[in-house]
Amino acid sequence: MADESGETRDLTMSRAMVSAIAHEMRENDEVFYMGEDVADYGGIFDSTEGLREEFGYDRVMDVPISETAYLGAAVGAAQEGMRPIAELMFVDFFGVAMDQIYNQMAKNTYMSGGNVSVPMVLTAAVGGTYNDAAQHSQTLYGTFAHIPGLKVVVPSTAYEAKGLMHNAIRDDDPVLYMFHKRLMGIGWLPAPDGPKTPVPETDYTIPFGSADVKRDGDDVTVVTLGLHVHRALSAAEDLADDGIDAEVVDLRSLVPLDTDTIVESVEKTGNLVVVDEDYRSYGVTGEIVASVADEALAALDSVERVAVPDVPIPYSRPMENEVVPDVEDIAAAVRRTQ
Amino acid sequence: MAGVSRTVLTEMYENMVTARHYEERLQEEYLEGKQPAFDISAGPIPGELHLAAGQEAAAAGVCQHLRDDDTVTAPHRPHHVAIAKGVDLDRMTAEIFGRQTGLGKGKGGHMHLFDPEVHFACSGIIAEGCPPAAGAGLAAKKRNEDSVAVAYLGEGAIDQGAFLESLNFAAVFDLPVVFVIEDNDWAISMPKERVTDVENGAKRADGFEMPGVRVDADDAVEVYEVAGEAIGRARDRNGPTVIEVQVHRRMGHFMGDPQTYRPEEDQEAAAERDSIERLEAALRDYGVDDDAMETIREEAHERVEAAIEWAKAQPHPEPSDAYEDMFVNPPSGVTDSEPDFDLAGGDD
Ligand SMILES: Cc1ncc(C[n+]2csc(CCOP(=O)(O)OP(=O)(O)O)c2C)c(N)n1
Ligand SMILES: [Mg+2]
């Protein structure tokens, strides 16, 4: 993980994300950030902490609560060649501005026959686990990955957060960067141990469409992303005690999707468990299973899906715990494949 | 205070002190299990909690005019409005504690309180209560009823499309709707002047040729008078109104908000400008003495205590309750009324 000089430091995911943004802003005057509470507050989930202090209000812009206007303004500025980053505080708020996302940002390149480019990044917080209920807890991976024309990336650790962000800002297409609140390392929302990792001081890019095998194993392939990478790794440790050796694949990007890495793993293990925090139907889990079936049906001995059963995220703790997949749910699904 | 009776003042006072005390108690309960390190997902009340201390006048002054069949939609900061609208306090509290007998059986939480008995609902998405309020007004108009609808929103919400579209919708169809903007100067960390082009949010009404009135004083009596006129207009089928009320945010945006962005003086000023004390002065003018006010406060405290005690004694939902209530008519329960009809004309 170290760069040539070997300099790394342990960072939370939010610090890693900010360090990539700050680096790109220093290098390129055309990069700027827009969002609610991104200036003085530093982002509700610490996604911009310290940026206003370094770059000022003109480049780290607090904007009106007018998502259609400011997401659309990012599209327009990007089409003029600037490199805006716009933040949707919670991904759940996409509804008030969806046209700018799926009819403008995602389609303008294609509809112009490739003559228009939209080099912007849309960042959005995702995820539940803290009882914020149905309008503030969704993990809408499938909603956005479904739309042709958007690249969709999901970091699981600080290392990924920085490398994916560098790439997202430099990419000439619109990139949706979905970060899980529980992983950011925010004071009031304690993160698990995993996401804080050594991060190189210098800039580096993680190419989109390159999944990362976070744990090698021979018995079963667990494909997942975001928070559930860490839950899958915990489950794998528990399963190892029972002699089950799970391989954990961190997708890192949904579009493009690294089907090769998944298929290679399934060809080795024969068993596939797909885990995510989105709704079960018409989503990521179904898509991964279908992709593997397309390419390597014969390799598949068994398949399990672990996702949010198709209900909105309930507020009360016993019910939220029931619907958001946890370590036990993953371990149980893996056992069913053995 | 021409049209204000002593009863009205007293009732508004009851609502306001109930709301204030309720939130003080919720705050205590909320912090339980979140000490010494604040973890938002810990304790008997997890998740975000947006308190409305300092905004009670806007709730009491408007809702004093409303009947049970009048609709109110509130935003993410709903408790004071819910209390003034007469939402069932026990079941609202049980909902906030995530219990099975709560208004939403523990599914909604504090930003998503629904009490259809008194036509109350709230939503955590900014300005998204405005269109449904217009819809309630539309229903009243179509059915020839004289009920009205009130949509509450923060000053930060006046830049949202849902609000502006609803203004036009209500204006063009002459709907009985009143939009009440609670101006507490802040949208989380963003001061109004940084993100909004007008100082007076009621001016948004101008572009839709409807009345827009601002109450500068954070004064329940003045709110009551202004709201009386607007709600009267609505009931008489004379169309919508926008009212903006200057209120004060005595707390952080949500519990756990460090408020490092907010100048000390601003916090102190908010603490000093107390609409409850202001109303007490008005009550004294009406001959309500301090003992009588003390009695009202004690009764309010007892009511709050009883609600919290009741709520905490309620059962938690079962994990499997998560699968209930997706539909009132679950797919399996749909009656099959498809005619026996073969489109292809085959001979089966
Ligand atoms: C569409 C949408 N965008 C952003 C948010 C996040 N958010 C919640 S409250 C808030 C500030 C609201 O300010 P204001 O309307 O003034 O109400 P106040 O909190 O001051 O009562 C924001 C931006 C949201 N809930 N919905
Ligand atoms: Mg406000």
Dump pLDDT digits (tens) for B205-238. Answer: 999 999 999 999 999 999 999 999 999 999 999 9
User: How remote is the C-alpha of B56 from its chain's centroid?
Assistant: 10
User: Looking at chain A, which runs of residues are DSSP E strands?
Assistant: 8-11, 31-35, 60-62, 83-90, 121-126, 151-153, 175-180, 197-200, 212-215, 220-224, 246-250, 253-255, 271-279, 302-308
Q: Does B112 touch chain A (CB under 8 A)?
A: yes
- The pLDDT of residue A22: 98
Domain around B285: 6-322
CA distance A26 to A54: 10
Pairwise CB contact (< 8 Å): B106 & A314: yes
Pairwise CB contact (< 8 Å): B125 & A44: no
The candidate with the shortest Cα–Cα distance to A317, out of B89, B150, B284, B97, is B97
Query: Exposed, middle or buried: residue B238 (CB in 10 Å: 0-12, 13-18, 19+)?
Result: middle
B250 found inside a domain: yes
Structure confidence at residue B331 as a pLDDT band (50, 70, 90): confident
**DSSP-assigned letter for residue B187:** E
Average pLDDT over residues B272-277: 93
CA distance A53 to chain B (A): 12
Q: Does B160 touch chain A (CB under 8 A)?
A: yes
Q: Does A1 touch chain B (CB under 8 A)?
A: no
User: A228 near A324, Cβ under 8 Å?
Assistant: no
- Residue to mutate, B158, B159, B188, B246, ligand 1, most ligand atoms under 8 Å from C-beta: B188
Kindly report the backbone phi and psi dihedral angles of residue B242, in degrees, each rounded to the nearest multiple of 5, phi listed first: -110, 130
Chain B partners of A63 at a C-beta cutoff of 8 Å?
Answer: 195
Helix (H) or strand (E) holding B154: strand B149-154
- Residue to mutate, B51, B55, B76, ligand 1, most ligand atoms under 8 Å from C-beta: B76
Structure confidence at residue A331 as a pLDDT band (50, 70, 90): very high
Chain B partners of A326 at a C-beta cutoff of 8 Å?
Answer: none
The candidate with the shortest Cα–Cα distance to A55, out of A84, A32, A83, is A32
- The pLDDT of residue A290: 98
- The pLDDT of residue B340: 72
- The pLDDT of residue A6: 75
Q: Does A56 touch chain B (CB under 8 A)?
A: no
Please indicate whether residue A136 is annotated as part of the active site: yes
**pLDDT over 70 percentage in chain B:** 95
Taking CA atoms, what residue in B is nearest to A131?
B47
DSSP B301-312: HHHHHHHHHHHH
Among candidates A40, A96, A321 on the partner chain, residue whose Cβ is nearest the Cβ of B160: A96
> For residues B133-159, b (16+ Cβ closer than 10 Å) or e, as one string?
bbbbbbebbeeeeebbbbbbbbbbbbb
CA distance B34 to A117: 47
The two beta strands, B71-74 and B120-122, are parallel
CA distance B256 to chain A (A): 7
**CA B157 – ligand 1 centroid, Å:** 7
Judged by average pLDDT, the poorest of A11-15, A284-288, A321-325, B333-337 is B333-337
- Mean per-residue pLDDT of chain A: 97
B203 found inside a domain: yes
B328 found inside a domain: no
B157 lines ligand 1 (CB under 6 A): yes
A96 lines ligand 1 (CB under 6 A): yes
Is the predicted pLDDT of residue A83 greater than 80, yes or no?
yes
Is the predicted pLDDT of residue B76 greater than 70, yes or no?
yes
CA distance A133 to A177: 22
Number of A:B CB contacts under 8 A? 137
**Domain count across chain B:** 1
Domains and CATH numbers, chain A: 8-200 (3.40.50.970), 212-337 (3.40.50.920)
B195 lines ligand 1 (CB under 6 A): no
Is the predicted pLDDT of residue A2 greater than 80, yes or no?
no
- The pLDDT of residue A309: 97
Q: Which residues contact B233 (CB under 8 A, 6 or more apart)?
A: B211, B239, B241
- The pLDDT of residue B329: 86
B31 found inside a domain: yes
- A136, A166, A180, A228: the catalytic one is A136
B269 lines ligand 1 (CB under 6 A): no
B337 found inside a domain: no
Query: Exposed, middle or buried: residue A182 (CB in 10 Å: 0-12, 13-18, 19+)?
Result: buried
Please give the ipTM for the structure prediction: 0.96
- The pLDDT of residue A3: 47
- The pLDDT of residue B330: 80
**CA B121 – ligand 1 centroid, Å:** 17
B347 found inside a domain: no
CA distance B348 to B338: 16
CA distance B304 to B17: 10
**CA B192 – ligand 2 centroid, Å:** 8
Q: Is the sign of the CA dihedral A187, A192, A193, A194 positive or negative?
A: negative
Q: Is the sign of the CA dihedral A152, A157, A163, A166 positive or negative?
A: positive
Q: Residue A188 is which amino acid?
A: W
User: A228 near A252, Cβ under 8 Å?
Assistant: no
Is the predicted pLDDT of residue A135 greater than 60, yes or no?
yes
Average pLDDT over residues B6-19: 98
Pairwise CB contact (< 8 Å): A316 & B107: yes
CA distance A40 to chain B (A): 6
Q: What is the CATH number of the domain that holds B231?
A: 3.40.50.970
Q: Does A311 touch chain B (CB under 8 A)?
A: yes
Is the predicted pLDDT of residue B280 greater than 60, yes or no?
yes
Give the pair of three-digit tokens for residue B115: 């009490």
Among all chains, which residue has been given the structure tokens 């190892």?
A: A240
B126 lines ligand 1 (CB under 6 A): yes
- Residue to mutate, B73, B126, B180, B255, ligand 1, most ligand atoms under 8 Å from C-beta: B126
Average pLDDT over residues B308-318: 98
Among candidates A187, A189, A322 on the partner chain, residue whose Cβ is nearest the Cβ of B322: A322
User: How remote is the C-alpha of A140 from its chain's centroid?
Assistant: 10
CA distance B227 to B233: 10
Is the predicted pLDDT of residue B2 greater than 70, yes or no?
no
Cross-strand pairs, A224: A250
B334 found inside a domain: no
CA distance A262 to chain B (A): 32
B188 lines ligand 1 (CB under 6 A): yes
Average pLDDT over residues A305-320: 98
B272 found inside a domain: yes
Structure confidence at residue B1 as a pLDDT band (50, 70, 90): low
The pTM is what?
0.96
Say which ligand is closest to the CA of B156. 1
DSSP B233-277: HHHTT---EEEEEE----S-SSTT---TTS-HHHHHHHHH--HHH
The two beta strands, A220-224 and A271-279, are parallel
Say which ligand is closest to the CA of B251. 1
- The pLDDT of residue B334: 53
Please list the alpha-helical segments (H only) found in chain B: 6-31, 56-63, 79-85, 89-96, 130-142, 161-172, 192-195, 220-235, 264-272, 275-285, 290-312
Comparison of pLDDT for A142 and B333, the residue scoring more: A142
